[in-house]
Amino acid sequence: MRNRILKFGGSALAATDQIEAAAAEVARTLARGVTPVVVVSAMSGMTNRLLATARRLHPDPPGPELDRLLATGESQAAALLSIALHQRGLRARSLSGFEAGITTDRCFGRARILEVREGPLRASLASGEIPVVTGFQGGTVDGEITTLGRGGTDITAVALGVTLDADRVVFYRDVDGIHTADPKLLSASRRHDHLDYEAMIDLSEAGAPILHPQAIETARAHRIELEVRAIVGDQGFTSIGPEAMRDPAPVWTVSLSHPVSVLTMEGLPQDMSMLARLHTVLERTDLPLEGCYQASQASLSLSLLAPDLDGPPLQAQLEDFLREETGLRYSLERRRRRVTLVGKGASGRRVSKAVEQVGARLGPPLATFWGDHHRAFVVPENEGRSWLASLHQELILP
Q: Domain ranges for the chain, please list them.
A: 2-246, 255-395
pTM: 0.85
Which run of H or E residues covers position 18? helix 16-31
Q: What are phi and psi of 85, to 5 degrees?
A: -70, -40
Domains 2-246 and 255-395 share a fold: no
Q: Which residues pair with 146 in a beta bridge?
A: 138
Mean pLDDT score, 22-47: 94
CATH of 2-246, one of 3.40.50.12780, 3.40.1160.10, 3.40.50.10260, 1.10.275.10: 3.40.1160.10
**Chain-centre distance of CA 155, in angstroms?**
10
CA atoms within 13 A on the CB side of 331: 5
Which run of H or E residues covers position 49? helix 46-57
**What is the C-alpha to C-alpha distance for residues 240 and 210, in angstroms, rounded to an integer?**
12
- Pairwise pLDDT comparison (206 vs 309), residue with the higher score: 206
* pLDDT for residue 13 is more than 70: yes
145-170 burial: b if 16+ Cβ within 10 Å, else e? bbbbbbbbbbbbbbbbbbbbebebbb
Long-range residue pairs from 199-203, CB within 8 A, at least 24 positions apart, any chain: 199/245, 199/248, 199/252, 200/226, 200/240, 202/342, 202/343, 202/344, 202/372, 202/373, 202/374, 203/178, 203/253, 203/342
Q: What would the pLDDT profile of 289-347 be if each residue is shown by its tens digit?
A: 666 666 656 667 777 777 765 555 556 666 666 666 666 777 777 788 989 999 988 88
Query: Which strands form 137-139's sheet, in the order they lie side by side?
Result: 113-116, 102-104, 137-139, 145-147
Q: How far is CA 5 from CA 96, 155, 252, 259, in A?
A: 16, 12, 28, 33
* 152-163 helix and 213-222 helix, angle to the nearest 10 degrees: 20
* pLDDT for residue 284 is more than 70: no
In this prediction, residue 115 has a pLDDT band, given cuts at 50, 70 and 90, of very high
Mean pLDDT score, 20-45: 95
Q: What are phi and psi of 133, to 5 degrees?
A: -100, 135
Fold of 255-395: VC0802-like (3.30.2130)
Q: What would the pLDDT profile of 134-180 be if each residue is shown by its tens digit?
A: 999 999 999 999 999 888 999 999 999 999 999 999 999 888 899 99
β-pairing, 237-241 vs 194-196, is parallel
Calculate the average pLDDT of the chain.
87
Q: What would the pLDDT profile of 183-205 be if each residue is shown by its tens digit?
A: 989 999 999 999 999 999 998 88
**What is the C-alpha to C-alpha distance for residues 258 and 185, in angstroms, rounded to an integer?**
12
Q: What are phi and psi of 212, to 5 degrees?
A: -65, 135
Mean pLDDT score, 66-72: 96
